[in-house]
Amino acid sequence: MLYAYKNRRSFDRRFLYTRHFQSIGSVAGYKKLLYWPHMELIPVKTRILTPPQDDLYAVLDESLPSVQEGDVILVSSKIVAIHEGRCVGIEGSDKEKIVASETDFIIPREYYRFPLTVTQHTFLGAAGVDECNGGGYYVLLPEDSFVSARNLHTSLTKKFGIQKLGVIITDSHSGPFRYGATGVSLGWWGIEPMEDHRGRTDLFGRVILYERSNLVDGLAAGATVVMGEVDEGVPVVIARGVPRLVFTEAETKDKLLVPYREDLFRVLYERFLP
């Protein structure tokens, strides 16, 4: 979308040219924007974190390479939950009761053996209660993924002596109309979760009235592809060179998460709300 420029031979790889966006100068009638050569998703392989509890911070000390100003660290919710001791032994436990205690609300499905569950503002199978890589334990979600992200942000900015850092807690889920799982953010800290395009103009001069981009879920989806789902042993990903990020120390969850009773899609589930 932003790759228009007049003279390929004189094209400076540090910049993109466009007529439509805030400029930092101009070249031959085109406005000039900072150019990001590429965005990287860097896998971080770690040792296995062992339920019912393990030390995530020690693992990050062992495994995390140098973190740079402007990076985003994406961390699987499973290893965060194991760090927090959010594990319940499978033997003698009633999974249905655990799921019911973890969900915001449940949508029964007569045609399927398990209900739909909504927790932490997303559809998650069994409210995120998972046996995979649990070593005989059910691993729950972090108690509060935003608090978890904030704590990681505080630790990592101090360790690496940086100020601009994003942290996103990820999980994977399935959605309607599609087979397969994709990544989703459960909590984040240090970045604005959305990019607002309202008031900008498209390539033909049309003013954008409604469009906003959900950055944290987009980054989570990409990182989950790198993390894998089974035995890859990559529960952490560094996103580097992410364009147009805005860093902040404020809590921003209300800028993205829609209250259930205000959701435009609530017609699909509102009769199941508590």
Residues 110 and 230 occupy one common structural domain? yes
Residues 65 and 182 occupy one common structural domain? yes
Decide: 210 and 198 in contact? Cβ < 8 Å. Answer: yes
Name the stretches of the chain with pLDDT < 70: 1-37
17-70 confidence digits (pLDDT tens): 333 334 344 444 434 444 456 899 999 999 999 999 999 999 999 999 999 999
Q: How many folded domains does the chain comprise? A: 2
Residues 148 and 249 occupy one common structural domain? yes
pLDDT at 271: 96
Residue from 184, 176, 185, 196 nearest 265 by CA: 176
DSSP state of 207: B
Q: Rg for the chain (alpha carbons), in Å?
A: 21
The sign of the torsion formed by the CA atoms of 77, 42, 71, 62 equals positive
Residues 27 and 162 occupy one common structural domain? no
Residues 15 and 50 occupy one common structural domain? no
Residue from 99, 262, 112, 176 nearest 270 by CA: 262
Integer CA distances (angstroms), 142 to 95, 114, 129, 186, 270, in order:
17, 22, 10, 9, 26
Residues 13 and 44 occupy one common structural domain? no
Residues 140 and 250 occupy one common structural domain? yes
Decide: 105 and 118 in contact? Cβ < 8 Å. Answer: yes
Q: CB within 8 A of 134, min separation 6: which ones?
A: 51, 87, 90
Q: In the numeric block, which tokens belong to residue 123?
A: 């559809």
Residues 146 and 20 occupy one common structural domain? no
| Angle at which helices 56-63 and 145-160 cross, to 10° | 40
Backbone φ, ψ for residue 167 (5° rounding) = -130, 130
Instruction: Read off the CATH number of the domain in which 168 is found.
Output: 3.30.1330.100
pLDDT at 37: 63
Decide: 163 and 215 in contact? Cβ < 8 Å. Answer: no
* Cβ burial, residue 203 (10 Å; 0-12/13-18/19+): exposed
pLDDT at 36: 52
Decide: 13 and 37 in contact? Cβ < 8 Å. Answer: yes
Beta bridge partners of 33: 16
What range defines the domain where residue 84 resides?
37-272
Residues 19 and 88 occupy one common structural domain? no
Decide: 207 and 266 in contact? Cβ < 8 Å. Answer: no
Q: Counting runs of H as helices and runs of E as strands, what totals does the chain give? A: 5, 15
pLDDT at 25: 42
Residues 68 and 23 occupy one common structural domain? no
Residues 95 and 220 occupy one common structural domain? yes
Residues 245 and 122 occupy one common structural domain? yes
